[in-house]
Structure 1
Amino acid sequence: MSVKITPLSPWEHYRVGELPRIQIENDHLRLEVLALGGIVRKLELKRPDGRWQNLVLGCDSAGDYLSQKACLGSVVGRWANRIANGRCLVDGYELELDANLYPHHLHGGLAGFHHKVFSLTPIDDGIKLTLTSAHGEAGFPGNLQLEVFYRLKGSQWLVTMNAEVDRPCPVNLTQHSYFNLGGPITGYQLYSNAPYIVMTDKEGIPVTLEETSRNPLDLNPNPTIGELMDQPLEALRQVGGLDHCYLWPDDDAKVKPRAQLLSPASGIKLTLHSDQPGLQLYTGNHLGGTPAYDGKCYKHHQGMALEPGLWPDAPNQPGHTKGILRPGETYQHHTVYQFDNV
């Protein structure tokens, strides 16, 4: 199936200069991609009646994207999620990272990829985004070379990320789109067969690893988001909703089904497949006031992020998945977002 690639009029901002935009489209999906942050500004699904329905949150200017803290639609790195107290050891040397969520590091810090300008190159089935992150940005060591591919295949959006470094460095990347499939997200059904869930303190730092089958936030029964959030749980109250990482022990780098999100109101289903061992599920608990389309602002819980990656604070946590990338190695991340009209 052919993919149509259309350059759009660029944006500009005094802080970052000219910002190219490109639209990629096939018979099922249409994406608008910004050079700023590798942001997917719109992701539209063709409905049975022929109209296009946007399924992600976004805004209308570079200034709006640069001012908001939600990382709407962007590539996140060098480290997605948190690193406790902005510190971790790499080969016995303690890194001091940007503590932008004081005292912790979050989503690459103030110099994160969501504020960087990528180079955009059309390819046969989508677009390639490239970025160089310099030694010392946000406290991370070494120079990092990043390639991100956004491809369309039928009703699937395929995301591939490859990165290399010239010094050992923590690397954990994700795509941070917030999805709204139509109607309030509290009515969405959310399913995952993840065997473990990371329970955190009120600042999102891991405390325990629990079996999901023994936890009230088990997603195997296919609850609605509203049913999950209505539970009188301290784990929900302290973060304002769901903001938890679900884990799989089968860390074999194979792309597998990880979660399913269904809006009964619109009849749209999203199935996420990934090769990452973790999936952070976030119900937009702090979206209130974030710039939206048409000069409006979003409210809390107006969209949901599904963030494949490692678990929070992995470099400081026990276990074998530390997330340290070394020279001569290639970080690889593959995620497939499948959209269906049901």
Structure 2
Amino acid sequence: MLPSSTRKPVQEPVVSVSITSLPAWEHYRVGLLPRYQLDNGQIRMEVLALGGIVRKLELKRDDGSWQNLVLGCDSAGDYLSQKACLGSIVGRWANRIANSSCKVDGQTLELDANLYPHHLHGGLAGFHHRVFQLCPIEDGLQLKLTSADGEAGFPGNLDVVVNYRLDGSNWKVEMAAEVDKPCPVNLTQHSYFNFGHALTDYQLECHAPYIVLTDNEGIPVTLERSDKSPLNLSGNARIGDLFEQPLEEIRQVGGLDHCYLWTNDDRQLKPRVTVTAPTTGLKMTLHSDQPGMQIYTGNHLGGTPAYEGRCYKHHQGIALEPGLWPDAPNQPGDTKGILRPGERYQHTSVYQFERI
């Protein structure tokens, strides 16, 4: 068997995907919100037009029952009130832009300072609060959105297309975007995963050569070689053991909230990070063609609305956010994340689930 660092998504026989329209939700702020359920017999997921949110992602157990693997809540109002971007598409810019400002071709952009003084996850007009158009496709669902020139301070009209596809025990996410003015673009899927027990028992494996070290507001300060860092995940690190280390990098953000980085990456789809839950016997490998992977252990989830009228606690889920590194438009190097007219932004991720 290939080691997890080189393993490719499992190629399983194609099984038809059942696509069912569920009763729509409605909210006075955003109107009617269609919902769909996708089911291929191995994976079943519920998708909302609001934010392109994956409300539930369920894996079939050997006994035929279903195990939900993601965090979610019960109403449009709950999703609109929470700030964790549960299950949503995040854009135009996932992660932070320092001081809510960057330059594009010599012009300074002033963006929403929704994490004052910084910009986070698309700002007040972020995609997690927008309504996508949903359209069934052969093996899943296509989501479309147009973001108007000037929203959250971003230039240009941006057209976004996202495909959620099911293939055996794999969930594939394809993102594409085009714009009519030069604009920073960095999209990600922001589901939080919980495999049925405490996050501290999970094991993380990631072979990125670098870690982006930040200040206490999440703005990059320097790169550190992973093999020289106590946050190195190449040895299948247990999350609880990382938390117990007396590290400033852990203390200042309340857990993991760090970008693992492949510099000079060729943008080919590769396994980037593996999450293993030994207690429940489940493993997820996230394959991505992006050079960065933000690993966030839900350090500020406390009080976020949950299913059945409950609230989540800190560290109740882990978000894996493939994309560029934080504040890329302001950082050294050539990768600024600026999409230009005539170019096409493309981003693919595959979530591979295995019982172990």
Identify whether the pair has TM-score above 0.5, normalized to the shorter chain. yes
Q: Distance between the aligned counterparts of 1:267 and 1:171, measured in 2?
A: 37
Q: How do 1:221-232 residues align onto structure 2 when only pairs under 5 Å count?
A: 221-232=235-246
Are 1:134 and 2:148 an aligned pair? yes
Match of 1:310 among 324, 328, 332: 324
Structure 2: how far apart are the matches of 1:139 and 1:247? 27
Match of 1:306, SS state, is strand
1:82 matched to 2:96: yes
CA deviations over 1:199-233 (Å, ceiling 9, x no partner): 00000000010100000000011111001111101
Question: 2: distance between equivalents of 1:194 and 1:9?
Answer: 43
**Pairing 1:156–2:170 present:** yes
Q: Which of the residues 235, 239, 257 maps onto 1:243?
A: 257
Aligned to 1:110, the other structure's residue is in SS state: helix
**What is aligned with 1:174?**
188
Unaligned runs of 5+ in 1: none
Q: Deviations over 1:122-170 (max 9, x none)?
A: 0000000000000000000000000000000000000000000000000
2:64 aligns with 50
Of residues 39, 46, 69, the one that matches 1:25 is: 39
Amino acid paired to 1:55: L
2-structure distance, mates of 1:185, 1:250:
32
Measured after TM superposition, the shift of residue 332 of structure 1 is: 0.2
Pairing 1:331–2:349 present: no
Whole-angstrom distance in 2 between the partners of 1:97 and 1:142: 13
Structure 1 position 249, deviation (Å): 2.3
AA at the equivalent of 1:222:
N
Alignment length (residue pairs)? 342
- Residues 148, 161 of structure 1: 8 Å contact kept: yes
Matched, 1:109 2:123: yes
- Residue 77 of structure 2 aligns to a residue whose secondary structure is helix
1:27: Cα distance to partner? Answer: 1.6
Report the Cα distance in structure 2 between the residues aligned to 1:11 and 1:169, rounded to whole angstroms: 33
**Matched-pair contact (CA < 8 Å) for 1:140–1:169:** yes
Contact kept? 1:198, 1:245, Cα under 8 Å: yes
The one-letter code of the counterpart of 2:250 is L
CA distance in 1, matches of 2:110, 2:243: 35
For the 8 Å contact 1:48–1:341, the answer to whether it is kept is no
1:72 to 86, 98, 104: 86
The 1-side partners of 2:16 and 2:300 are apart by 39
Q: Which residue of 2 aligns with 1:183?
A: 197
Give the deviation of 1:48 after TM superposition.
1.3
After TM superposition, what 4+ stretches of structure 1 lie above 2 angstroms from structure 2?
none
Name the amino acid aligned to 1:31: M
Confirm or deny that 1:99 pairs with 2:113: yes
2:339 aligned partner, one-letter code = L
Letter in 2 for 1:333: H
Give me the identity figure in percent: 74
CA displacement, residues 303-334 of structure 1 (integer Å, 9 cap, x when unaligned):
00000000000000001111000000000000
Alignment of 1:283 with 2:325, yes or no, is no
User: How big is the shift at 1:265?
Assistant: 1.0
Cα deviation for residue 250 of structure 1 reads 4.5
- Bigger mean CA deviation after superposition, 58-67 or 251-260: 251-260
Structure 1 letter corresponding to 2:84: A
TM-score by length of 2: 0.96
Q: 2:8 maps to what in 1? A: none
CA contact (8 A) 1:118 1:130 kept: yes
